Amino acid sequence: MSAAAAAGTWRLGDLEVNRIGYGAMRLTGNGMAGNSDGTPIDRDAAVGLLHRAFELGVNHIDTAAFYFSPLRSANELINRALASWRGDVVVVTKVGPARDPSGEWLPRDRPDRLRGQVEENLRQLGRDCLDVVNLRAAGPRTVSIAEHFGALAELREAGLIRHLGLSAVLPRHVTEAQTIAPVVCVQNSYGLDWRRSDETGLVDLCGERGIAFVPFFSVSGLRREAAAGREQDARVRSVARAHDATPAQVRLAWTLHRGPHVLAIPGTSNPAHLAENIAAGSLRLTGEELALLGTPAGGTP
């Protein structure tokens, strides 16, 4: 059994993936905010890192066309890595937000312009059909997503997309979307320090409906796009010492313990951190440790 399979698997529609995946944002330096973390990873090193992830069993990658810096595009690096890899890898991308070539964020696209974003992802990834496309909600969270999700559903019917998901949404958006087309995954901020999805009931709702819940920023927490800082939580440090693990591994394990439908997509450009993140799937926390860390209602040890 591969390292990434130690936490088990889940299905995104008809696509079975290991619960430990990889988030590609950091391959560019910092894909959401531009090249703010210094010189981006060398292209060959990036391809090597992705191949190492695949060797460890990662078969689920999260990306977006707007993950780019002045010198790197996450999609381009993934395309290059997959071109020289024979195994099956599910690539999940997202649309909704967009950036111009200089990196500046653009206003929310109209529904009829989402096709252009989908086609851009197809070009960059070198594919004729995208495995999964998440609609990332933009603007006030009270706004309906029906028109935008409906536009993606039409592209799914046209054969450009295999499955659909959502990102940065509330439970009512999931219900709204499911009246239009099947939803296979939901991506929201979630972790020990950021539990709004528990407060709204979104994690449990996804579990009840057989939808994968895919947290982002589960390691960096309130630092969000920034790399995880020095661990400040004494509870996390204590559990990490008990397992001879890193604090990041404990945070990932805590997230995975939330339910069998919860996946993880930690990102890094560091090969050592990559191996540690994937190994977190085999870390089993005790009931006492989960209580110490604060298991949300409905959590599973």
If 0-12 CB within 10 Å is exposed, 13-18 middle and 19+ buried, where does residue 20 land? buried
Sheet containing 161-167: give its strands across.
22-23, 60-62, 90-95, 130-136, 161-167, 185-189, 212-216
Contacts of 154 (CB under 8 A, 6+ apart): none
Length of the chain as a residue count: 301
Distance (Å, whole) CA 166 – CA 136: 6
For residue 211, report the phi and psi dihedrals to the nearest 5 degrees.
-100, 135
User: Which of 22, 54, 67, 68 is the catalytic position?
Assistant: 67
Decide if 67 is catalytic: yes
Give the residue among 67, 3, 20 at the shortest CA–CA distance from 41: 67
Instruction: List the structure tokens of 292.
Output: 């110490």
Active site residues: 67
